[in-house]
Amino acid sequence: MPSRRTDASAEAGKLAPYQRKRDFERTPEPKGAAPQAGETGALRFVVQRHRARRLHYDLRFEINGVLASWAVPKGPTLDPNVRRIAVHVEDHPIEYLLFEGIIPRGEYGGGDVIVWDTGTWEPHETDDPAAAVAGGELHADVHGEKLRGRFILVRTGHTREDENQWLLLHKHDEYAVPGWDPEDYPRSVLSGRTNDEVKADPERMWRSDLPPAEASVPVADGSGGRAATAGKVATAGKAATAGKAGAAPRAAAGGKAAKAGGKEPAKAGGKEPARSSGKAARADLSGGPGKAELAALDAMGGAGGTWEVFGRRLKVTNLDKVLFPGREGEPPVTKREFIGYAARIAPVVLPYLQDRPLNMHRFPGGAGTKGFWHKQLPDHAPDWVPRWDNPDAEPGESTTYLVVNEPAALVWAANFGALEWHAWTSTTERPDLPTYALIDIDAGSATTWEDVLVLARLHRTALDHLGVRAQPKLTGHTGIQIWIPIERGPTFDETRKWVEQLSKAIGAIVPRMVSWEWDVHKRGGLARLDYTQNVRNKTLVAPYSPRPAAGAPVSAPIGWDELDDPSLRPDGTTIRTIFERLESRGDLFATVLGPGQRLPPIH
């Protein structure tokens, strides 16, 4: 893999043409920090839909610490029969990867900009993409939200006057889609909004006078609306701001927090508290495989065989392969144990997956390798496996999804290498309307576990104040997620805006804990309250799903009272300990299976 960044002093000079063209006292664009030497990792790319004097798309590849950039008037396409004109323009700073907003009129490139696509890429047949660009031909294997496959950029100009003229084309490969038009997909992959929506109501602006990690700041609307929202939710959590600015006491807001097994907290705002009483639905484990079935799995040889379970005959393979490394003092988790877990937990997790398309996060090589998303149900899946054909699938998108409507389907997915299970928040009946609103407290590199708990308690207080029923769960990694069951009706856009309003109000209480940057490298180590997950076909990990880490931790539901338990850890429950927890506390997440709620206005 080529190094991301090389000679910092040499690369810093590459930004001089970009910086000369811009007045950073006026434009919100990033000025660009000096590249850091020696950083390695997947190279990134971005395509921005940019409405300046004329609409065009800006294609940018990360090469040697800057973004090598081309303006593509008609935009990139997956159609292998189309050649696009591309104009090689000045290199842009890495911080431009996630720039979305408005460049003022009169400034260079004045107009509105959205992040139309982004992802990672690899140069093909070269370890020196900068030399390939200098030589006039770059082959790039692209892994984006919209763009996939191999793109080729070829210089067509050979004189000083036209040396910036290039052509962009897509190879005839498995990702090629004849007739594919970028204008059919006008929304940002970052915010889910169109250029018109960004122009009408920009959410963020870039402060060029601040360090990159702090430069993206919210835009006030001039009417006090957003500030008023933050203030009113903050009123419900005044106790959270006691002490030092940006920090909250451990038992944040709402009076003395309930201890595990203690009494219910007081009503908030005159409404019934949103949290559960701590009495969970009894987890029915009787529907899982019996002792004889589990013994049959244990008795199979390492190569595998046919396992009869849940009335199905499933082919299982490579049973002794290690999928999860062991924690200290513990043996690793083999594929045999993982498949057994999937079968045992299937009756519990089934209600959260049923009638919902499943995005599989596959790790065929195990949790120690790089995983990838697999949404399309493969042709070799058995005929009995439940599935859904997406009638709205666009060319190049997945058309047929696995739907876990029976326990054996989850066992099939586990054998297929799906270590993580991500079900849609909408059902196959109405895929355009969510039935859950999602809150994702995503810890940063400098975020302590105590910080995560503070943010979760603030959400607990705010939801209590609003009278909204919700349930938290551990991510199995470093954070906490909260699911809110909603009645069918609000669109994804409306649901996302509600969660955004709530999260930004909470973030305003503890601003030193939270960043709103999408790119983890630009958050300054702070946590992110990620409301952008409330988009069709974007998902959070399902309850009880394993996570790809040592010991096979699971995304375990918790009671609100456990936020005050000093022994709570985000990855403390594993596939080996979850059943004891289910026996003692039941299925705490069953509260989200109740009737959907109407999301109240946040005043």
Residue 268 has a pLDDT of 30
The conformational region for residue 334 under phi > 0 = left, psi -120 to 50 = alpha, else beta, is: beta
Residue 230 has a pLDDT of 36
- Rounded Cα gap, residues 30 and 385, in angstroms: 49
- Pick from 418, 420, 412, 403: which is nearest to 315 by CA? 412
CATH for 225-279+431-593, options being 3.40.30.10, 1.20.1270.360, 3.40.50.1000, 3.90.920.10: 3.90.920.10
Q: What six digits make up the tokens of 325?
A: 């490394």
CA distance from start to end of the chain: 51
Residue 226 has a pLDDT of 34
Residue 397 has a pLDDT of 84
Cβ distance 495 to 503 under 8 Å?
no
CATH for 317-423, options being 1.10.10.10, 3.90.920.10, 2.40.30.10, 2.40.50.100: 3.90.920.10
User: For the chain, which ranges sit under pLDDT 50?
Assistant: 3-11, 38, 208, 212, 220-279
- Rounded Cα gap, residues 360 and 410, in angstroms: 10
Residue 280 has a pLDDT of 58
Residue 41 has a pLDDT of 67
pTM over cut 0.75: no
Q: What is the largest CA-CA distance in the chain?
A: 80
Residue 108 has a pLDDT of 84
| Residue ranges of domains in the chain | 8-218, 225-279+431-593, 317-423
- Rounded Cα gap, residues 209 and 475, in angstroms: 36
Place of tokens 């070269």: 126
Residue 160 has a pLDDT of 74
Cβ distance 67 to 94 under 8 Å?
yes
**Cα-flanking dihedrals φ and ψ of residue 113, to 5°?**
-135, 135
Beta bridge partners of 527: 514
- Pick from 537, 571, 523: which is nearest to 428 by CA? 537
Answer yes or no: same fold for 225-279+431-593 and 317-423. yes
Residue 209 has a pLDDT of 52
Q: What six digits make up the tokens of 583?
A: 């026996």
